[in-house]
Each structure stands twice: as C-alpha cells, then as structure tokens.
Amino acid sequence: MPSQERVELPGRYREKMPGATASGPVDSSEIVRVTVLLRRREEAQTLSAEQFAYRGPDARNYLTREEYGRLYGAAPADIAKVEAFADEYGLTISDRSPARRTVALMGTAGNMQAAFGTSLENFDSPSGSYRGRTGYLTIPANLQDVVAAVLGLDDRPAAKTHLRRARATTSGLSPALVAEAYGFPSGATGAGQTIGIIELGGGYAPADLDTYFSGLGIKTPTVSSVSVDGGANQPGVDQDSDAEVMLDIEVSGAVAPGAHIVVYFAPNTDQGFYDAITIAAQDTVNKPSVISISWGGPEDSWTTQSAAAMLQACTDAAGVGVTVTVAAGDDGASDGETDGKLHVDLPACLPSAIGCGGTTLKISGQTIKSETVWNDLSSNEGATGGGVSNIYPLPSYQASAGVPVQPETKFVGRGVPDVSGNADPETGYEVLVDGSNQVIGGTSAVAPLWAGLIALINQQLGKPVGFVQPALYQIGESAFHDITTGNNDGYQAAIGWDPCTGLGTPNGVALLKALQGLGSAGAA
C-alpha cells in the first residue's frame, strides 16, 4: 500500500450509537461501497440556493440539469485525483457523476480501511445491527481540498419515518377532502409534473394502489420506482415502512392524480439518503419538479460532513428548479431526544428545504371548523416538530419572520417549520397499507400534501417554482391560515410565523394567485 502524507477529513468524527456494543471486526473480505462527494468547481464555491429563488412566472430562476452540471458540477481534474487514489488502494469505480459531484467506490473492507485510515466493526444497538466506525477518517493530503465527504463506510440507520397511526376507533379524512378545505386549485391535476418521493425502506403493491384510488373515484396515478444503492420496492417486509410509502403515494396522488409519481428507494444510511436526493434531483429521465421526504432525524445525530452533504443535495435541487418538501418530525420540540433539550429534525431544518409542520384540523363539510397546533404528547400520541436550528444560520428569507434565537444556545438559527398541514392522527388520512384500511397522520402526511400542491401550482404556472421559500415569506399571511393556538412542548403558536406551524396552512388558490402575480411589474 502506498505511504504518503495523510490528513484528517474534518466533520467525519463518529461515535457509536447510544447503547451500541461492538460485536467483532468486519470481515476484511466484505465488499463495501462508498460515495465520495467532491467539491464544486473552484469558480462555484460560494453557491447558495438564494441564487435560484422564484421571482415570478416570467423569470427563469433555475438551470436545466445539463447546465447545472456543467457550471456547478465536479471538475474533471478532481475526479481524476479520486480515480488515482482508488487505483492505489485497490478500489474500483462503480459510478461517477460530474453533475452530482460523486464518485462511487467499491472494494473490500480491508482495502477501504487502509484507504480511509479507519477500523470498521460490527455493532449491536437498540436500533439494530450495523457496520460502524469510531473516530476520524483520513485521506491523502493531495485530496484535502477535493473531497467534501465520504459516505457509506458506516451504515447505521440515518433516519426514521414521521408517521403516527390513529387509535382503532378513529375515522379518517380523505386527502382530497383536506385539499378542498385548504382551497387547492380545483382546475389542476398535476398533469405534466413528476413528484419524486424519497423512501428509505418499505414498498408499495400496485393492486393496493388500484383499490385505494378506485375507492376515491380517481384513476390510479402512474407510479414507478427507481433503485438507489441497491434499495428496492419491497412491500411486506416492514409494515411501518410500507405505511410510509403508501401514505406518501396515496396523499400526493389523491391531491395531484395527473402527476407521475416516482419513488426513489434507497438504504436507510446517510449515503443512501444523500444519493437518493441527488439522483432524484438530477434525474434527466423522470425530471421531478418537486421531491417529498418524510424521513429524518435530530440534526445533531448527523456528522458535520453528512449534514453539509444533505444541505448541498437540497441546494443542488433548488438549482435545477426542484422544490423539496420535508416532514418536520412527530415528537414535538425535543424531536424525540431524551436529553431534555430542544432539537429540530434534519433534513427539515435545511434552509433549501421546505419544513412541513403539523396541525389538528377539524372540518365541517368542506370548510375548516378549527385548526390548532398538533400536540398529543400528553397521550403519547405525538406532536409537530419545530424550533430553531443549532447548525444552520438564519436564512435571509426569514430575516423579518420573527424567528427567535435558539433559547438554550442563543444561536441565530434557521427556524422550522416553514409551513404546515393536517397531521394529527386523530384527524388523519384514510389510506390502504398492505391490504388494510388505516388512518395515519404525522408530518409524514404533510410533506406529500404540500408536494401535491406544488405540482398543481407548477402545472398552472407552466414552470416549476423551485426554491420558493423566499416567495412564501414575501407573500405571507394573505395565502395562509395562521395557526395561533397551541404549542409543541417547547414553543408557542403566535400571530405570524412561529416554531410550531411556521407561516400556517395553505390557502391554495390564494397562494397560486400570489405566485402568478409575483414579479409581474418587471421580472428579470
């Protein structure tokens, strides 16, 4: 093996999972696949999603996928350095993507350990067994400014679903009825749009989808799947993951039945999560205009480098006109952590994503009777996530929103969520999962609900809104139902934006009209 000066790869320090115990070293002949994320081209290092903010229907605020890859992808010289490194350590290249700035490497665990200066062990934890590492990674010094992240050596679970099942006696709401109550545009179906859905497990049965949509009197939307890193549509293995997949498809499909729904299945690892988002965003075949994500985990459970990679993934999506809607979590202001502190969920806290919080919605006919912050923590039934990030600073589009400093750290951070929708499982959605009728809520339902609305709006505008967050905050209360009652056991609802329900729940027609009128007095 070559001997050369090596440096620590910053931001990749790992500790074992809470409660985990080592069960032995990884077999040195085991095949391991990693994704090496490279820096952007040197002239594009300061890229920000703000560059691609929606400015109105007459302004082109995004690039084609080909343009984006050419301007902001990896430089050929950087890819060549990683290829040479792989050859030196006996690793093979299974894929390279200049647009996604990734090189996928495969090799034995023994060679991977030598290449990245680490030791891999098998661990048993309360969350299951995984291949893991502790401490830092190292890389040759000539790659120090080239490599942004190395994902995949450690395959511990990166995220969990954000859904909650209702009690057995609860009757649910049709997603279409909720859309009507929120005033979604009635003359649109999402035709011509593609909704991408990220799934880290589970699967769907086409027969179930036919049964479900037939019961709604809707033609079954076109649904297809894409395998990422060996992930696949596998219904019947894990009912909770199946419930997530079916909830996401059925809610978005009921709202936008004319859209093509593409489900990107990936392993539940930081590598799989990152690869799924970037593959969906850069998909030149299906070309989704909106991506829905209902998985996540506390932001401080991610390594610094993994969190930065996720931010880059969603920023890249913004660059090609793709909106990313993300569930804000179902465990209130703690995000399920037991340290007594406030936490927000990632990727909902990413400034380039739309964080989606949850409400308790009561409808009379097709009209909203009442709506409050969803909080059933006292009954152990969940609550909307929300709060202030300790990692990502306050984005400019929230500068006038009244986001408080993080109460414990005083960090001036990104406020979560941006928007909300019905999430209380006791006012949840009627769905069909593995042949069983169920009522499911959680912010997992809000991300696909908003993805469906974005698809309808994109159809009506004739172009994708893409990075629409600055426009949402500019439009403000005129297109939202402001939720002013309730809390998430850490933050209180208030007039205007708050860390429970964000700007509020949508008035779909009003939002469409506001977006149509934005920039009409001289768009660039």
Q: Which residues are known catalytic residues?
A: 244, 248, 444
What is the DSSP code (8-state) at residue 222? P
Give 316: exposed, middle or buried? Use CB within 10 Å, 0-12, 13-18, 19+: buried
CA distances from 345 to 183, 295, 352 (A): 28, 9, 14
- β strands within 62-182, DSSP E: 92-97, 102-108, 121-125, 128-132, 138-140, 147-151, 160-161, 164-165
Contact 447, 293 (CB under 8 A): yes
Contact 333, 343 (CB under 8 A): yes
DSSP 372-398: EE-B-GGGTS-B---EEEEEEEPPGGG
Contact 9, 55 (CB under 8 A): no
Interatomic CA distance for residues 479 and 472, integer angstroms: 9
Please give the backbone phi and psi of residue 89, each rounded to the nearest 5 degrees, phi first: -105, 15
Interatomic CA distance for residues 348 and 352, integer angstroms: 9
Contact 328, 346 (CB under 8 A): no
Interatomic CA distance for residues 463 and 519, integer angstroms: 14
Q: How far apart are the first and last CA of the chain?
A: 56
Find, among 473, 484, 485, the residue nearest to 511 by Cα: 473
> Nearest 5 degrees, angle CA 72-CA 75-CA 81?
145
CA distances from 290 to 196, 317, 321 (A): 6, 9, 8
3-state secondary structure 106-121: EEEHHHHHHHHCCCCE
Which parts of 206-296 fold into alpha helices (H)? 206-216, 239-255, 270-281
3-state secondary structure 329-355: CCEHHHCCCCCCCCCCEECCCCCCCEE
SS3 424: coil
Find, among 5, 522, 48, 434, the residue nearest to 204 by Cα: 434
Tell me the two tokens of residue 212: 């479900």
Tell me the two tokens of residue 394: 């306050």
